[in-house]
Structure 1
């Protein structure tokens, strides 16, 4: 993935920025603990770095862990009657190629896990899933050649008019990618006009 230059990231502010976003920690209930671990092992193609009866560290790349799940004895589920709730909206994981997103979708589908939302944001093509606790997980591919191009797009009139994106059918997306259609055409977001929410 392309990285932004320091002046683009920080606007020349003097504060020291971290080198990376290293991991996310999710709180769950003891009854959901094993389901959550199995879900993330599957959707991330992950491995367990360490696990106890209430704490599990999961990795999928060179980092020792990217996700941790903690079972809290008195944790309560999100209420279906109260939306939206404050807190984490979603976490996102990236793939380098459209064909990787297709493979990811098909592997999850074969395990009975389907996306809740598929959208071309303009700078990414994304599929969103819900984990067993209702947390949203995004899998994406960047559509532009650089982070600079993505920031420029995000400051364009088209993105200002529609910062959400354009929904797509995952099966049609897979068909287009497998057909050998020009990837730039698949990545290009249609202009549907104003849209300010999902």
Structure 2
């Protein structure tokens, strides 16, 4: 029997730095404009085929590159499902929704996953973007929910009406109450 030697663990990064999206040249301007508006981002660098955008202290968070020969991703293809951006409060998440709506950017799905309250969007190339707020104050509380019976039964979440959520927040319902997932029973991906 061969002996099993433990391999050393790999050093962990300190953060996720950026995401780069490739797009067909004919969609480059639309993608660049979309992400500038979506994130209220400013260009760190741009030319006719490359754009680096930032919205915080990082030199760039989103890269967009126009590559000749790039084709749309076939439906059902394996790959990245979505990129997520976190907001500090539910109020901030809903304000960003309202601001995007004013620009004609509407969500494709609103769902309370339990650990997050999330609003999803789809960019001009069909990439999904999640905007979210954490529903728990500590990682330990989130971990407790992720190992709960409720999450095992429904790891997807419960859809919600974003306009109703805004009305309830504006009427004085506390964020903690609004971020508590309504349990609907079993719900699976397939």
Normalising by structure 2, we get a TM-score of 0.93
Answer yes or no: is 1:23 the counterpart of 2:25.
no
CA contact (8 A) 1:162 1:196 kept: yes
Q: Secondary structure at the match of 1:140?
A: strand
Give 1:190 deviation, angstroms. Answer: 0.9
1:167 is matched with 159
Give 1:14 deviation, angstroms. Answer: 3.3
2:56 is matched with 61
Give 1:92 deviation, angstroms. Answer: 0.2
Q: Deviations over 1:122-155 (max 9, x none)?
A: 0100000000000000000001011121122111
Q: Secondary structure at the match of 1:48?
A: strand
1:123 is matched with 115
Normalising by structure 1, we get a TM-score of 0.90
CA contact (8 A) 1:117 1:128 kept: yes
Q: Secondary structure at the match of 1:31?
A: helix
Task: Write out aligned runs for 1:90-169 (5 A).
Answer: 90-169=82-161
1:75 is matched with 70
CA contact (8 A) 1:99 1:178 kept: no
Determine the C-alpha separation between the residues in 1 that align with 2:88 and 2:161: 20
Between structure 1 and structure 2, the one with the greater Rg is 2
Unmatched tracts of structure 1, length 5 or more: 1-12
Unmatched tracts of structure 2, length 5 or more: 1-7
Aligned pairs, number = 183
Give 1:178 deviation, angstroms. Answer: 1.5
Determine the C-alpha separation between the residues in 1 that align with 2:170 and 2:58: 32
